Amino acid sequence: MLHIINRSPLSDIALESCLNTATGGDILLIEDAVYAATSGNAFEGKLRAAMGRFKISVLRPDLEARGLSDRVVEGAALVDYAGFVELVAANKTCQSWL
C-alpha cells in the first residue's frame, strides 16, 4: 500500500498515526510533510526508525519550494511528479492521511 502524507509532523499527527498504524509499504511525503524528512527535524528519529518497515519517498518540487532539498535524511528517496504517478501505479491501494 502507498501512504501519502501532506502535513508537517510537528503540527499534525498524520504521519505519526500512519507510522503507528500501517504495517509497511511505501510512504510518500508531499507538501508540508516533506519537513519530516529533513535532517535536524525533531521527527527525524521516528522517521529513521520506520525506514526498516517502510520505503520513504519525498516529492522533490515540494522540498525545493521550502528551500530544503539539500538536507534530506539519508535513506529517503527523492521523486518528481512522474515518480509520484509510478508509486500510485505500482501499489494496489493508496491511502491519503488527511
Q: Where does this chain bind other proteins (CB under 8 A)? A: 6-8, 10-11, 31-32, 35, 38-42, 44, 60-62, 64-71, 80
Rounded Cα–Cα distance for residues 89 and 79 (Å):
14
Rounded Cα–Cα distance for residues 11 and 9 (Å):
6
Q: How far is the CB of 59 from other proteins (least distance, A)?
A: 9
Q: How far is the CB of 73 from other proteins (least distance, A)?
A: 10
Rounded Cα–Cα distance for residues 84 and 6 (Å):
13
- Cβ closest to other proteins, residue 8 vs residue 91: 8
- Cβ closest to other proteins, residue 26 vs residue 62: 62
Q: Of the candidates 72, 75, 80, which has an alpha carbon nearest to the alpha carbon of residue 35?
A: 72
Q: How far is the CB of 50 from other proteins (least distance, A)?
A: 18
